[in-house]
Structure 1
Amino acid sequence: MPTTQELPDCHLLKPPILITPSGPTPHHALSLSNLDDQKFLRFSIKYLYLFRKSVPPESLKASLAKALVDYYPLAGRLRSAGNTDGSGGGGGDVDQRLEVDCNGEGAVFAEASMDITGEEFLELSWWPNRSWRKLLYKVEAHSFLGVPPLIVQVTNLRCGGMILCTAISHCLCDGIGTSQFLHAWAHLTTKPGAPLPVLPFHGRHVLRPRPPPHASSPHPAYTRSLPSRNDKAAPHADVHRYLQSQPLVPVSVTFSPSLILRLKRRCVPSLKCTSFEALAAHTWRSWARSLADPPASAASSLTPLHAVKLLFSVNVRDRVDPKLPHGYYGNGFVLGCAPAAVRDLVGSNLASAVKLVQAAKSRVDGAYVRTTLEVLEDKAAKTDLAASLVISQWANLGLEGIDFGEGRAAFMGPLTSDVYCLFLPVAEEPHAVRVLVSMPECVAEKFELYMKGFAEREEENGNGNGCGGEGDGLCCEDV
């Protein structure tokens, strides 16, 4: 279970400054695509990197200024479309369509120090807690629009290492775009005069819905209204609201390549699957089982009859026709959606859940993307989080390979843990995946037990390859 040990105080060495592009940049209003402009994405993704050796802040500032020439929207400010007075709008404007005012105002850069070593931090690194937030400068703002798209804090450690934290607006890019930008920044730090290996493409018009929008059928990942209370065959539970009302604790489980292989072997020979498909299905089943089987003293929002969904990001850069331009810098993903009744999800074997994930992935083609864009043209449409586990894939994006000249990070992950589930890379352990999600405190141990239990049960039975077969049901999946 997670440690509650907090980080020591973090001391700002000087007031934060704005890093502006080192060269001229376009000054215009950049419209967001419907994929960018989802309310679901109106937050900043907060990344944390631990490096064993620090890089001089002046070098990081100079290279960031160069990177912002090509990645100039990150130096701009979000605002409501049509609001050109530079104020960014009030809190109510977050319900309107957004755009980026590419004004070159700059990214926030803060320098700090903390009395801790890299090794000491690594001992605490698997379970983020609220004290980690001091590692990223907080911009006080009345609304999301008042927060700059890019905020950076470099914290020097007692051992000579550093923690680099960044907050990047999800409205401007997805995980692929974040990785692309961070690699560009690191590239310019180590090779100041070299051209960027990938130039960003900022035109969001390539994801404009075809006029007039004509999506009329329901989209599985979105809703415009509350589910019907008369749906007795597969009633809905507002799991998201339930989770938000509970004391949450982060649960972190690392799957080595061998453990992932053992998961995949549970589906052969009848079904071949990818590592993501196997791990996503296993995590979804463990999540549903733990929420549907709480301690007697705790309430739960799930019963065997409830319908639940797995939502996960699917990169569509190569799934649309024509393909998105190389270096496309925006949100280039849609949500794959796999639905199931709780009793069917946990009462069948892993292969059955994997088939649901595969079916959800296969549905994401050009037509699916166009339908998504059309559905999102209606600003009343919102992501259906009521009974959903949302998985965001950070592994296999190259995020762990960032090198500013003093070696790759010894650790990378999010600054905070949330009810959204993250598949994270494991620094210095290629092909391993760390699953991080916050769960209600009353079921956290059970969720962790279900996540780990398949391997422990196999070891007890002396069967490292799993029991296999389509009919194993709960006999070996249960702990």
Structure 2
Amino acid sequence: MEKAGLGEFNAEVVESCLVQPCLPSPRGTLYLSNLDNQPAARMAFNTLLVYKASENVLPDPAKTIREALSKVLVYYYPVAGRLRKKEDGKLQVECTGEGVLFVEAMVDKSLSVLGDLDQLKPSFKQLLFRFPSNTAIEDVHPMVIQVNHFACGGFVVALNFHHCIFDGRGVGQFLNGLGEMVRGHVKLSIEPIWDRELLKPRNMLVHELEFIEEKKQSTSHLEIPPIYKESVQMSLTLDFETIKYVKDGIMPESIDICTTFEIFAALVWRARTKALEIPHTQSVSISFVVDVSRSFNPPLPNGYYGNSIVGAFAEAIVHDVINKPLSYLVNIIKKTKMSLTNRYLRSIIDTEQFPANVHSNQANIILSDWRWLGFNEVDFGSGTPVNICPMFWNENGFNLSNVFLFLHSPKRTNDGFKVITWMPPQEFNLFEIEIEAITNKYAMNS
């Protein structure tokens, strides 16, 4: 059912320009690490940050943000360059100083037309300029920012960034630095560090790939259910009480202290598996993105904004996913995270043997926790965003198959979080029923 206020609108572009660093910046070619070049990072991502009208709203958000962007690019000058492909196919950055593409647009409706961004409409594509899919990598800007003014006085900052230059936390660091410049800071509170050479392969390769090979073998023989093309963006919100009931119920079952992510990754894994009605003898896997910046020895420095993420894979038999205590799944997820040691990480960087892509199998799922990337803290002078949402579209519409994202609740409370995913509506309904059944069980036992 369509939510109240959610509908179509028109966005008219009033200006498009390249924003360059306001001071001369270094020229030359910069190395991108093997983590920057891993398959999962060789793509662009889109994000919307929504700001409601307030007494402190900027008189001209686009102009102010554009001027601040030229200042922050002095620190992040590689972002004003261009990607280049080497002979071996890997990407590097050529520091040209050409600039970031900046677009300003006017929307003829109020922010209420967006709803909670739970269901995206075709007109939402107008909020962000995007290069055609067949554009050569050399012609794509590593970053595009579009500021959309709404009739109510609120605005939406839409960001397109190439993942090989930033990981999610790195983008959050960049945006918060941009916000500081908007608010009149003379310098950034966190100085950005490029230094991708910190993750260069070692001369002597250390092969420690049993974990990866096991996952490749186990995922390659899975029975593949039909791939749905009618998937749409759906979401559900887990409130504080629900989270507390489940955590309180899990803690006595588990040997170790569990994080909220580990518990609700297990919850999503079980509910999704039950909703798909997969044969109980089949294996299913869960992949989740882990920030490993502190797992290296020595840890990556504060301010490093390159990719320091790795996909971790856990696997179990469907019968166990559905029937064993939820703490069983939590412990599998925890052990998988703990396996990402410095020695293991260095070995996959050395050999470029990154874990297999599970997108191709509808039974497997991928989770990413966006709550700690810093997007919800970005302040352009009128307060933090009231909502944050990814915006990914392909030939089948707004679709990121098999993926679940954890985000802060749009209600701006610290009490819960929102889960965004892409499913056919009928499948999502079953998933939501399973989530409710599992959480209700813990609530009744509290």
TM-score (norm: length of structure 2): 0.89
Deviation (angstroms), 1:98: 0.8
Aligned equivalent of 1:62:
67
For the pair 1:269 / 2:252, whether they are aligned, the reply is yes
Deviation (angstroms), 1:252: 0.4
Q: Distance in 2 between matches of 1:329 and 1:313?
A: 16
1:391 alignment partner, SS class: strand
Q: Distance in 2 between matches of 1:458 and 1:142?
A: 49
Deviation (angstroms), 1:445: 0.6
Aligned equivalent of 2:395:
none
Q: Distance in 2 between matches of 1:96 and 1:222?
A: 27
User: Quick check: 1:249–1:439 contact (8 Å CA) kept in 2?
Assistant: yes
Q: Which segment drifts farther, 211-220 or 444-453?
A: 211-220
Deviation (angstroms), 1:431: 4.7
Deviations 1:98-155 (A, max 9, x none): 111111111111111112212342x342223433221101223634613211101111
Assess, with a 3 A threshold, how the Cα gap between structure 1 residues 342 and 141 changes in structure 2: closer, same or farther: closer
For the pair 1:252 / 2:231, whether they are aligned, the reply is no
Deviations 1:65-117 (A, max 9, x none): 111111112111112025xxxxxxxxxxxx82111111111111111111221
Deviations 1:252-299 (A, max 9, x none): 0111222212121221313131111111110111111112x2xxxxxx
User: Quick check: 2:245–2:442 contact (8 Å CA) kept in 1?
Assistant: no
Deviation (angstroms), 1:50: 1.1
For the pair 1:46 / 2:32, whether they are aligned, the reply is no
Aligned equivalent of 2:400:
418
Aligned equivalent of 1:140:
132
Q: Which segment drifts farther, 314-323 or 255-264?
A: 255-264
Aligned equivalent of 2:332:
356
Deviations 1:8-49 (A, max 9, x none): 1211123x1111111121211111111110122222221111
Aligned equivalent of 1:444:
428
User: Quick check: 1:2–1:250 contact (8 Å CA) kept in 2?
Assistant: no
Deviation (angstroms), 1:426: 2.1
Aligned equivalent of 1:33:
33
Aligned equivalent of 1:23:
23
Match of 2:201 among 190, 193, 209: 209
Match of 2:349 among 346, 370, 373: 373
For the pair 1:156 / 2:149, whether they are aligned, the reply is yes
Q: Which amino acid aligns with 1:279?
A: F
2:263 alignment partner, SS class: helix
Q: Distance in 2 between matches of 1:257 and 1:127?
A: 23
Q: Which segment drifts farther, 280-289 or 366-375?
A: 366-375
Deviation (angstroms), 1:367: 1.3
2:92 alignment partner, SS class: strand
For the pair 1:340 / 2:316, whether they are aligned, the reply is yes
Match of 2:101 among 86, 108, 117: 108
For the pair 1:197 / 2:189, whether they are aligned, the reply is yes
Percent identity, aligned pairs only? 27
For the pair 1:96 / 2:89, whether they are aligned, the reply is yes
Assess, with a 3 A threshold, how the Cα gap between structure 1 residues 413 and 209 changes in structure 2: closer, same or farther: same
Residues matched between the structures, number: 427
Q: Distance in 2 between matches of 1:110 and 1:164?
A: 10
Aligned equivalent of 1:296:
none
Q: Which amino acid aligns with 1:290?
A: A
Aligned equivalent of 1:403:
379
Assess, with a 3 A threshold, how the Cα gap between structure 1 residues 386 and 307 changes in structure 2: closer, same or farther: farther
Q: Distance in 2 between matches of 1:61 and 1:402?
A: 15
Deviation (angstroms), 1:386: 4.0
User: Quick check: 1:114–1:155 contact (8 Å CA) kept in 2?
Assistant: yes
For the pair 1:328 / 2:333, whether they are aligned, the reply is no
Q: Which amino acid aligns with 1:203?
A: D
Q: Distance in 1 between matches of 2:280 and 2:66?
A: 54
Q: Distance in 1 between matches of 2:339 and 2:260?
A: 19
Aligned equivalent of 2:223:
237
Aligned equivalent of 1:475:
none
Q: Which segment drifts farther, 112-121 or 71-80?
A: 112-121
Deviations 1:406-450 (A, max 9, x none): 111111121235222111112411252111110133312101111
Assess, with a 3 A threshold, how the Cα gap between structure 1 residues 249 and 141 changes in structure 2: closer, same or farther: closer
Q: Distance in 2 between matches of 1:373 and 1:309?
A: 23
| Unaligned runs of at least 5 residues, structure 1 | 83-94, 229-234, 294-301, 466-479
2:40 alignment partner, SS class: helix
Assess, with a 3 A threshold, how the Cα gap between structure 1 residues 365 and 217 changes in structure 2: closer, same or farther: closer
Aligned equivalent of 2:357:
383
Q: Which segment drifts farther, 148-157 or 362-371?
A: 362-371
User: Quick check: 1:221–1:383 contact (8 Å CA) kept in 2?
Assistant: no
User: Quick check: 1:425–1:431 contact (8 Å CA) kept in 2?
Assistant: no
Aligned equivalent of 1:92:
none
2:336 alignment partner, SS class: helix
Aligned equivalent of 1:317:
293
Q: Distance in 2 between matches of 1:265 and 1:352?
A: 15
Deviation (angstroms), 1:403: 0.7
User: Quick check: 2:358–2:365 contact (8 Å CA) kept in 1?
Assistant: no
2:426 alignment partner, SS class: coil
Aligned equivalent of 2:369:
393
Match of 2:79 among 47, 62, 74: 74
Aligned equivalent of 1:86:
none
User: Quick check: 1:401–1:409 contact (8 Å CA) kept in 2?
Assistant: yes
Q: Distance in 2 between matches of 1:424 and 1:198?
A: 23
Q: Which segment drifts farther, 112-121 or 344-353?
A: 112-121
Assess, with a 3 A threshold, how the Cα gap between structure 1 residues 349 and 216 changes in structure 2: closer, same or farther: closer
Match of 1:168 among 161, 168, 171: 161
Aligned equivalent of 1:283:
268
Q: Distance in 2 between matches of 1:196 and 1:177?
A: 14
Deviation (angstroms), 1:214: 4.0
Q: Distance in 1 between matches of 2:258 and 2:136?
A: 39
Q: Distance in 1 between matches of 2:204 and 2:223?
A: 35
Q: Which amino acid aligns with 1:247?
A: E
Deviations 1:191-228 (A, max 9, x none): 14x21101111011111121243426344389778966
Q: Which amino acid aligns with 2:357?
A: T
RMSD (Å), alpha carbons:
2.4
Q: Distance in 1 between matches of 2:388 and 2:201?
A: 36
User: Quick check: 2:249–2:442 contact (8 Å CA) kept in 1?
Assistant: no
Q: Distance in 1 between matches of 2:219 and 2:237?
A: 36
Deviations 1:295-331 (A, max 9, x none): xxxxxxx422222211111111111101112211100
